[in-house]
Structure 1
Amino acid sequence: MLNSITTFFIALIALLHVYILVLEMFLWDKPAGRKAFGHSLEKAKESKVLAANQGLYNGFLAAGLFWGLYLGDAGFEIKVFFLSCILVAGIYGGITARRKILYIQAGPALTALLLLVLNG
């Protein structure tokens, strides 16, 4: 049962990072992107290229989690690695950008890591 919950939770985190990719790469200067990140149109246009780069990195994080999930038990270390990357990025973002990143990114990654280790 714990294995199914862990897998489901990791898949949700991967999907969250696909969503972040879409927001940062394609919707950054659109109303949905500006609302999600709290930017004015002017600020969004100025930082669009940087945001697209961030989005690409979030896509890599999602791809790594999907890869680990695809491998099943053999992907344990891969899942640990990518969840750890997400945790560190979430902590850094929560400290340097917006506190809510701790809850949106770091918290779920930490929870998934704990579930993974307890299950492993």
Structure 2
Amino acid sequence: MRILAKALIALIAALHLYIAWFEIFAWTTRGPVVFSSFPTDLFEPTIALAANQGIYNAFLAAGLIWSLLIRDARWHANVATCFLLFVLVAGVFGAVTISPRIMVVQSVPALAALIALWIGQRRT
């Protein structure tokens, strides 16, 4: 279960690195393709807003990666729990305010990782 938790944490960190790259560097090029319902004339004026969101996603990824580098099992679980909860809450908020799809992409994997992490902790 601990290996599954670490694999899920790594995948979620990779997802947030991709989201950060997308929002910081590819908002005006890939954005209109990914968000086809968003008016194309609004991508350029919102580039700074997207980049700001990207930085937050980079911080989430950094925290999850940091948790994977911590050797002490208890502290690894504490830091991973903190950042996974951040991801989960951000996903719920995004699902309520933007699109329910965000719940599936963000919150469900974070919840699965939390469950695997906590089960793995109980066994030690």
- What TM-score does the superposition give when structure 1 sets the normalisation length? 0.93
| Alignment-mate amino acid for residue 44 of structure 1 | F
Determine the C-alpha separation between the residues in 2 that align with 1:81 and 1:118.
16
- The question of 1:95 aligning with 2:96 is answered yes
Task: Give, in whole Å, the separation in 1 of the partners of 2:24 and 2:40.
Answer: 15
Structure 1: give runs of 5+ residues left out of the alignment.
none
- CA drift of 1:76 comes to 1.1
- Map 1:6-85 → 2, pairs under 5 A: 6-30=5-29, 32-38=30-36, 39-72=38-71, 73=73, 74-85=75-86
- For residue 114 of structure 2, what is the aligned residue in structure 1? 113
Pairwise CA RMSD of aligned residues?
Answer: 1.1
Cα offset for 1:79? 0.3
**Superposed CA offset, 1:27-80 (max 9, x none):** 1110x2222233333111121110000000000000000000100423211100
> Greater shift after overlay, 82-91 or 34-43?
34-43
- 2:19 alignment partner AA: I
The one-letter code matched in structure 2 to 1:101 is I
TM-score, with structure 2 as normaliser: 0.90
State which drifts further: 66-75 or 85-94.
Answer: 66-75
Aligned residues: 118
How far residue 102 of structure 1 moved from its aligned partner, in angstroms, is 0.4
Query: Separation in 2 of the partners of 1:25 and 1:37?
Result: 15
SS across alignment from 1:45:
coil
User: d(CA) in 2 for partners of 1:88 and 1:37?
Assistant: 22
CA distance in 2, matches of 1:57, 1:93: 14
Of Structure 1 and Structure 2, the greater helix share is in: 1
